[in-house]
Amino acid sequence: MHSIPGRRLIMALFLIFLLLPIYWLVNMSFKTNTEIVSTMTLWPHTPTLQHYRRIFTDESWYSGYINSLEYVIINTIISISVALPAAYAFSRYRFLGDKHLFFWLLSNRMAPAAVYALPFFNLYSAIGLFDTPWAVALAHCIFNVPLAVWILEGFVSGVPREIDETAFLDGYSFPRFFIKILVPLIASGIGVAAFFCFMFSWVELLLARTLTSVDAKPIAAVMTRTVSAAGMDWGLLSAAGVLTIIPGALVIWFVRNYIARGFALGRV
């Protein structure tokens, strides 16, 4: 009764539609450039690892991944640590302007990155953070902090209030209660929130590219270098693309039941 006739066929077709372009990217990344340009082959006939080898040995390439990971990790740590107390406050208390604050956070999650690109550029140049991972990490807070607040608020609300009250009766101070009792109870929620902060910071390109030039260049910006006088280096571009998909693909299994929740700002 849950489902519709022909569901297996529909699902299969849709999954093929999703996987085919990804397969093509993987396929290209194992081909030599001569094979890519000269023939149309459905799988690599002369498989090669040359593109991956180049990425892992050429510093200008692998440093792109390191730079990206750096700001993504800094951003995730900042977002989660400021969002935790706020999530507790939103879940447990009513206070002056709480609804307005909540709306204001939402509006920042929705703000187009293009609007902020130029002012961020000015701001971070003025305070000397331009071209450092900190600039990108702080800039990404604008959409990741609200997201973390929402996801965590849902998980904190799932903890019965009696637990807080018992802890305070037992003489726990607020910080001790928070770290010793609340955080372990919502550990899985923190994991989910961290995953989404990681992911949204990882997939964003516009701000990351605008706020860096040489030293902190993210992988997404490095990838645009494959255009050269000799034409596109399609194999290298594909290999770099495949490597950016891997972090998401690795953890996807553990968060599969929370995906909808993360994208719907914890509202599902």
Partner 1 sequence: MDKTVNQKAWFLVLPVFLVVAFSAILPLMTVVNYSMQDTFGNNQFFWNGVGWFKELLDPSTDLGGRFLASLGRNLFFSAVILAIEVPLGIVVALSMPREGWSVAACLVILALPLLIPWNVVGTIWQIFGRPDIGLLGYVLNSVGINYNYVSNDVDAWITVIVMDVWHWTSLVALLCYAGLKSIPDAYYQAAQIDGASRWAVFKAIQLPKMHRVLLIAVLLRFMDSFMIYTEPFVVTGGGPGNSTTFISIELVKIALGQFDLGKAAALSLVYNLIILIVCWVFYTVMTNAGADRPAKEGAA
Cα dist. 138→26, 189, 226, 237, 257 in Å?
A: 33, 22, 29, 28, 29
Residue 77 binds partner 1, judged by CB under 8 A: no
Least Å from the CB of residue 10 to partner 1: 4
Residue 14 binds partner 1, judged by CB under 8 A: yes
The span of 48-56, 58-66, 180-188, 252-260 binding partner 1 (CB under 8 A) equals 252-260
Residue 75 binds partner 1, judged by CB under 8 A: no
Residue 261 binds partner 1, judged by CB under 8 A: yes
Residue 63 binds partner 1, judged by CB under 8 A: no
Window 196-225: contact mask with partner 1 (x via CB under 8 A): ---x--xxxxx---x---------x--x--
Helix (H, G, I), strand (E, B) or coil at 268: coil
**DSSP codes of every residue in 95-163:** -TTHHHHHHHHHHHHHS-HHHHHHHHHHHHHHTT-TTSHHHHHHHHHHHHHHHHHHHHHHHHHTS-HHH
> What are the structure tokens assigned to 204, written together?
């964003």
Q: Vertex 89, ends 85 and 95: CA angle to 5°? A: 140
d(C-alpha 251, C-alpha 151), whole Å? 18
Which is nearer to partner 1, 50 or 113 (by Cβ)? 113
**Which of 34, 60, 122, 188 contacts partner 1 by CB under 8 A?**
122
Interface with partner 1 in residues 92-111 (CB under 8 A): 92-96, 98, 101-108, 110-111
Cα dist. 8→14, 16, 21, 226, 253 in Å?
A: 10, 12, 21, 41, 22
User: Which of 98, 105, 107 minimizes the C-alpha distance to 79?
Assistant: 105
User: Which of 152, 156, 119 minimizes the C-alpha distance to 138?
Assistant: 119
> What are the structure tokens assigned to 166, written together?
């018992």
User: Which of 81, 74, 64 minimizes the C-alpha distance to 137?
Assistant: 74
Least Å from the CB of residue 25 to partner 1: 5
Residue 112 binds partner 1, judged by CB under 8 A: yes
Which is nearer to partner 1, 81 or 188 (by Cβ)? 81
Residue 1 binds partner 1, judged by CB under 8 A: yes
Interface with partner 1 in residues 132-161 (CB under 8 A): 138-139, 141-142, 145-146, 149, 157, 161
Residue 44 binds partner 1, judged by CB under 8 A: no
Least Å from the CB of residue 57 to partner 1: 22
Least Å from the CB of residue 246 to partner 1: 10
**Which of 69, 86, 159, 181 contacts partner 1 by CB under 8 A?**
86
Interface with partner 1: number of residues (CB under 8 A): 99
Window 172-201: contact mask with partner 1 (x via CB under 8 A): ---------------------------x--
